[in-house]
Amino acid sequence: MQQVIIDCDPGIDDALALEFAIKSKELDVLAITVVAGNAPVDIGVENAFKVLERCDRLDIPVYRGAEAPLKRSYVSAQDTHGMDGFGESEIIRRSTVHVQEETAEAFLANFFAKKREVGILALGPLTNIALALKSNQKLGQNMQRFVTMGGTYKSHGNCSPVAEYNYWCDPDAAKVVYETLDTLVEMVGLDVTREIVFSPNILEYCHRISPDTGDYLRKLTRFYFDFHWQYEHLLGCVINDPLAVAYYISPEICSGFESYTTVETTGMSIGQTLVDRYNFWQKEPNAKILETVNTKEFFTQFLTVLLDAPEATIASDLNLLKLG
Ligand code: RIB
Ligand code: CA
């Protein structure tokens, strides 16, 4: 079992990723830190608690992080995730458990003041990570792994022709992390996450296997389905963040290459991931860029956990489903 801290901006796919990670037997989620991204940070905190309630894990501490990017003005993705950041699902929080007093960046900087067999799984803009790094330069050396959902190598962007939201929202934070974290940045970008389409077929299957979970997933993803149909004429929704969880658990689910990588912070291509695969800049690789994914293996792992069903059942049923 791997111990991990999840930094996120819940967010519909973050919510699915958090549930997947918390319920997985392979991960021990020590804490959740929230950053402004899909929704303003206080809405993100509320949504993190909604997931913890659903998983009956209100023992996991939640830390409130950055309200805005390092330099850019904050732009949310509430057009995609709903004003409540939860698909306007009307799913409400019942508990009154409070967020921790310590800020996310202070918690992360202090926690990694010494070497830990604990990794960070970053599912949103990297503002909290960059702030923690600025106060603790050993942050990267003291963590076990750093996996980030973000960026894109060859796939088109989702905020501009070349930029993916997490790095477009806070490009300065992404640049600081890639250039100074001093540990391999494992980038789960749009090149692989675009293969992960939570389709109406899969939603219907979830409902057949577990009606309650199916109802929850239907409420949570309806708004996301509508967005994807309206803007990409896609039936279903791309669930980016759960793939980062699956990759953290089973790195063999994706393949890629190591390369020096940084992020553009100005101009029309702001937020673009600059992947120097052919080493023009003669710099040591600082990132692992993932290019391919075993989609069936992802859905087998993801649905086995989310539906609390036998893996063999899910694996054989998935042969019947037209994935993607
Ligand atoms: O571009 C997709 C990423 O941005 C996902 O993490 C989504 O939740 C948003 O944070
Ligand atoms: Ca996210």
Give the distance (Å) from ligand 1 centre to CA of residue 143: 23
Q: What is the pLDDT of residue 95?
A: 87
* Mutation to probe ligand 1, out of 6, 13, 41 (largest number of atoms < 8 A from CB): 13
Distance 1 CA to ligand 1 centre (A): 26
Q: How far separated are the first and last CA of the chain, in Å rounded?
A: 30
Residue pLDDT tens, the chain, 324 long: 999 999 999 999 999 999 999 999 999 999 999 999 999 999 999 999 999 999 999 999 999 999 999 999 999 999 999 999 999 999 999 888 899 999 999 999 999 999 999 999 999 999 999 999 999 999 999 999 999 999 999 999 999 999 999 999 999 999 999 999 999 999 999 999 999 999 999 999 999 999 999 999 999 999 999 999 999 999 999 999 999 999 999 999 999 999 999 999 999 999 999 999 999 999 999 999 999 999 999 999 999 999 999 999 999 999 877 654
Neighbours of 126 (CB within 10 A): 35
**165 C-alpha to ligand 2 centroid (Å):** 9
- Residues near ligand 1 (Cβ within 6 A): 9, 11, 13-14, 37-38, 77, 123-124, 149, 158, 164-166, 240-241
Give the orientation angle of helix 127-135 with respect to helix 171-180, to 10 degrees.
50
CA 37 – ligand 2 centroid, Å: 7
Q: Give the closest ligand to the alpha carbon of residue 167.
A: 1
In this predicted structure, what is the pLDDT of residue 322? 64
Please state the atom number of ligand 1 nearest to the C-alpha of residue 37.
Answer: 10
| CA-closest residue to ligand 1 atom 1 | 165
Taking the whole predicted model, whether its pTM rises above 0.85 is answered as yes
Which atom of ligand 1 is the closest one to the Cα of 14?
8
Return the ligand 1 atom nearest residue 158 CA.
Answer: 1
The per-residue pLDDT for 320 is 79
Ligand 1 centroid to residue 51 C-alpha, Å: 17
The per-residue pLDDT for range 140-152, each reduced to its tens digit, is 999 999 999 999 9
Domains and CATH numbers, the chain: 2-196+239-293 (3.90.245.10)
Q: How far is the centre of ligand 2, averaged over its atoms, from the C-alpha of 95 (Å)?
A: 23
